[in-house]
A and B are shown apart, each in its own frame.
Chain A
């Protein structure tokens, strides 16, 4: 780096007046050299370690392959047929979809409500925001292990219930197939609600105060103002949060892996957990699962972008942070 920095030719300006044509060609090839030098490393790393593995997954998925030895037992779409006829995998897809829908329906309104309440001058606002954000900062693994300890039959939650006289509510939270998925959803809400609230608060900053004042002058009450002015203006933020939440829910792995490994009897299984459980050692089959997961995520993302985020996304991807 220091070498490139070393010799900027400081007094070559007059030279530009001579031989413009030759110079143009040489600056042009120089430009391409610079482009290759600067974008090349990132492009190589990105293609080799992001694009290539995904492409390889598509290839492996057509073979019966244990990861060792030659890749020669081509079996066509048999891996896909096997996956899509395995009730356990179908249940995993169903669980992913349940979490996607529940997140949008529960976390969204909750986050908006809390953000609306907190969106004003408050003593200790900075501290409140920081503390609400704590679960999001923790690694999913560490949050998951903490909840596993809290929710174990002899853990903190049951002990607390006993202490306040609610013994009849105690149960093996993560080991009861009837409720395990909802308990998992509760943990995820705990982990990710803070992020949603912060996103909504950031979106609310963009709603001009004058509009609220104008509405107040026109005689609108607090509810009318929020419903007719704030929420519509918060639309882009809400739609982008929904997008992020959906993609995250479809990829869900860490939290489930450390708390339940998908159990009991598949009650909390997700596509990614199923993939790691069955894919190590059966790389062909695991790759087929990966491709299904990829196609579902991509389809959801594209459909959603097409219909819900047409106007928002251009701004989101192109303007970035200031």
Chain B
């Protein structure tokens, strides 16, 4: 007994804690990724195979379902629509957000605190509560069922987070820079475009990424403003499109699996590219 312990000690002590950690990590990964993998792999099986054995391995691997989805117009229509809406929302919220945050961060005026509090209070106004009256409002404005009629409300609802993240960011830019700029004759607006915007790049990217993902994944507003507003089905955003496809073709399990897994790709790809920003934005925004 003693000899074994000394033998182990002289080599490297086996770290049981480390083994446990890897077991926990692997379990967490398996649970997180397993269901996603099932959907992806299932897309490589034919519907007949899936019906015969829902948990089987693809044999043979069939590209038929993926090919059908990738050559269908509605899938690409949805990708186009989601991209357009997300890009429009991102551009709108970043532009409006940084302008408002600039005023709140760098101007002293009566009502500044109130303005900030108003936007911050927006966090307490969830989209769920506003959804029904919003659809009436957009109908009255003639924007129901249009891209703009989805982009504008999404911008509005993304403004609170954006401004809350950007204000401290803009405030942290040293005031010496502003003084230097004004000595060189730049107006405050000149300072904003030439110094503030370039320096706040990282903050803008963070809020942009958050707004893009929120828009890409949104469901309730597109459901009420797009689908109920009479936008043609081929132009529904992806979450709506996937839901519609899976109801309409529920018998064709292979195609539904393929459609669902292809719809995951954009968000996952975007996440891989912007992981640091997303994680930093989400954790930083709430943690401080």
A residues at B contact (CB < 8 Å) = 1, 4-5, 8-13, 31-32, 34-35, 38-39, 41-43, 45-46, 48-54, 56-57, 60, 67, 114, 117-118, 120, 122, 128-135, 137-142, 145-150, 154-156, 158-160, 162-163, 190, 194-195, 197-199, 202-203, 206, 222, 236-237, 240-241, 244, 247, 251, 253-254, 257-258, 272, 275-276, 279-280, 283, 286-287, 290-291, 293-294, 297-298, 301, 315-322
Contact = CB atoms under 8 A, between A and B. Distances in A.
Contact of B264 (A42, A138, A287): A138
Nearest to B107: A35
Contacts of B33: 131, 134
Interface of B: 17, 20-22, 24-25, 28-29, 31-33, 35-36, 38-39, 42, 51, 53-56, 96-97, 99-100, 102-104, 107, 109, 115, 118-120, 122, 124-126, 128-134, 136-137, 152-153, 155-157, 159-160, 163-169, 172, 183-190, 192-194, 203, 206, 213, 216-220, 223-224, 228, 238-240, 242-243, 246, 253, 256-257, 260, 263-264, 267-268, 271-272, 275, 278-288
B183 A13 contact: yes
Given A38-B100, A50-B130, A5 B193 contact: yes
A-B interface, 3 closest residue pairs, ranked by CB to CB distance from nearest: A159-B55, A321-B284, A49-B156
A203 B100 CA distance: 30
10 contacts: A154-B54, A254-B239, A258-B219, A272-B128, A275-B131, A275-B132, A279-B132, A286-B132, A293-B128, A321-B285
A320 B164 CA distance: 7
Contact of B243 (A43, A141, A272): A141
Contacts of A244: 286
A120 B126 CA distance: 37
A291 to B, nearest CB: 8
B239 A139 contact: yes
Contacts of A294: 125-126, 129
A146 B35 contact: yes
Q: Max chain B CB contacts within 10 Å: which of A8, A38, A42?
A: A42
B132 A290 contact: yes
A156 B279 contact: no
A117 B24 contact: yes
Nearest to A286: B132
B32 A134 contact: yes
B246 A145 contact: yes
B104 A1 contact: no
B152 A49 contact: yes
Given A9-B187, A317-B120, 5 more contacts: A38-B102, A45-B155, A53-B134, A253-B128, A297-B129
Contacts of B275: 130, 133
Q: Max chain A CB contacts within 10 Å: which of B192, B238, B288?
A: B288
Contacts of A139: 216-219, 238-239, 263, 267
Given A35-B109, A38-B103, A46 B159 contact: yes
Given A38-B102, A146-B36, A156 B54 contact: yes
B165 to A, nearest CB: 5
B154 to A, nearest CB: 9
Contact of A240 (B163, B271, B286): B286
A16 to B, nearest CB: 9
Given A57-B132, A140-B219, A156 B38 contact: yes
A31 B242 contact: no
A41 B99 contact: yes
Contact of B279 (A133, A290, A293): A133
A54 to B, nearest CB: 5
A232 B160 CA distance: 30
B39 A149 contact: yes
B168 A146 contact: no
A241 to B, nearest CB: 8
A280 B228 contact: yes
B115 A43 contact: yes
B277 to A, nearest CB: 10
Given A159-B54, A237-B287, A8 B186 contact: yes
A258 B125 CA distance: 23
Nearest to A118: B25
B164 A253 contact: no
Contacts of A318: 168, 288
Contacts of B219: 139-141, 253-254, 257-258
B246 A280 contact: no
Nearest to B193: A5
Given A45-B159, A195-B282, A322-B284, A56 B136 contact: yes
Contact of A34 (B188, B203, B271, B287): B188
A221 B216 CA distance: 47
A142 B242 contact: yes
Contacts of A199: 282-283, 286-287
Given A202-B283, A247-B126, A251-B128, A155 B54 contact: yes
